[in-house]
Structure 1
Amino acid sequence: MKKRTLALLVALVLVVGCIIGGTLAWLTAKTDAVVNTFTTSDIDVTLTETEEEYKMVPGYTIHKDPKTTVVKGSEECYLFVKVEKSANFDSFMTYEMADGWTALEGVEGVYYREVRTADMGTEFSVLKDDQVTVKGEVTKEMMAEAEKNKPTLTITAYASQLYKNNTEIFTVAEAWANVPKN
């Protein structure tokens, strides 16, 4: 009788164990994996101009149309242009900056503007009315001298991200300091 009771008890334990074990297997779960893919960001800027050679005639206005664009898909940024004049440029010509550009305080020849998402892909003229003007007082002798040492106007565009983190905007000076100048 003891053997029979022991066998019955063992059988009962096995049945209960199978029921609990089977129940535990039915109460498990697993989710599908969530894959987070992080894309890169960038700023892409272009500088274009329709002509490259210009003829100086005293008193004439010369069409000169450098335009800079922050390419769509870029991050919001400060857009800078650096305008470098040869030592003799001011003796021969004048120009004004186009509307929307602000001179960067303490940095000669550097101008900036903020470019937000809505302005991506917009061409911004660098020079007012896309022109430079040859001074009327330029003489034949000055032109002969300019033949040896031609005046130049060099424009370079740069961009630096607007935000330093999720909430803070760089100051213009900090953004300019971030730009590689080579």
Structure 2
Amino acid sequence: MKKKTLALVLALTLLVAGVVGSTLAWLTDQTAEVKNTFTVGDINIGLTETTTDYKMVPGNTIAKDPTVTVKANSEACWLFVKVTESTDLKDFITYAIAEGWTALPGVDGVYYREVPASAADQPFSVLKGDAVTVNSDVTKEMLTAKDFANPTLTFKAYAVQKDNVASASDAWAKVNP
């Protein structure tokens, strides 16, 4: 009988503990999920020119509008333009670089500017007044000489991210062909 009573008391104790335990509520909490998505930054540039007819007449100004554009949504960047002249260009043509460009020290014909990120295209003229001038002392004999080669003026644009690049010289070293 003692065993039956003890078993009954134990059974009732377990039943009461189960009922009490199931009615207790634990205080809990949790945070909302924080998701990190890493996207790719980019820089997109273009170099365009609308004028294409360059007839040399002494003293004339010729429309020439090379324009470098940093495309919308590009990262902040160092923007460069490299201007290459044929050997005899200065005998025939004069020009100036547009405001906002800075000559890169120690590198002939390379100019740079810092461009902030923007949601819009950012165009930059390369030549002051979007023009070149034919020297007034150019003669027909110079233009028809046996060894005459048409002078050329060539432009090429480069860009490198501004973040983590300390100077224009460092940036040029990253894009220098």
Normalised-by-shorter TM-score class = 0.7 to 0.9
Within-5 A mapping of 1:10-159: 10-17=11-18, 19-20=20-21, 23=24, 27=27, 33-117=33-117, 121-145=121-145, 148-159=148-159
1:137-169 Cα shifts (integer Å, max 9, x gaps): 1111211148852111110111111120xxxx5
Identity score, percent: 49
Q: Of the candidates 159, 166, 169, which is equivalent to residue 173 of structure 1?
A: 169
Q: Is the 8 A contact 1:69 1:120 kept in 2?
A: no
Q: Distance in 1 between matches of 2:176 and 2:107?
A: 15
Q: Is the 8 A contact 2:89 2:153 kept in 1?
A: yes
Count of residue correspondences: 176
Q: Is the 8 A contact 2:98 2:127 kept in 1?
A: yes
SS of the residue corresponding to residue 83 of structure 2 reads strand
Q: Cα RMSD between the aligned structures?
A: 2.4
TM-score for both structures, normalised by structure 2: 0.87
- The amino acid that maps onto 1:179 is V
Q: Is the 8 A contact 1:61 1:133 kept in 2?
A: yes
- The amino acid that maps onto 1:149 is A
SS of the residue corresponding to residue 37 of structure 2 reads coil
Alpha-carbon distance, 1:4 to partner? 2.0
Q: Greater share of helix residues, 1 or 2?
A: 1
TM-score for both structures, normalised by structure 1: 0.84
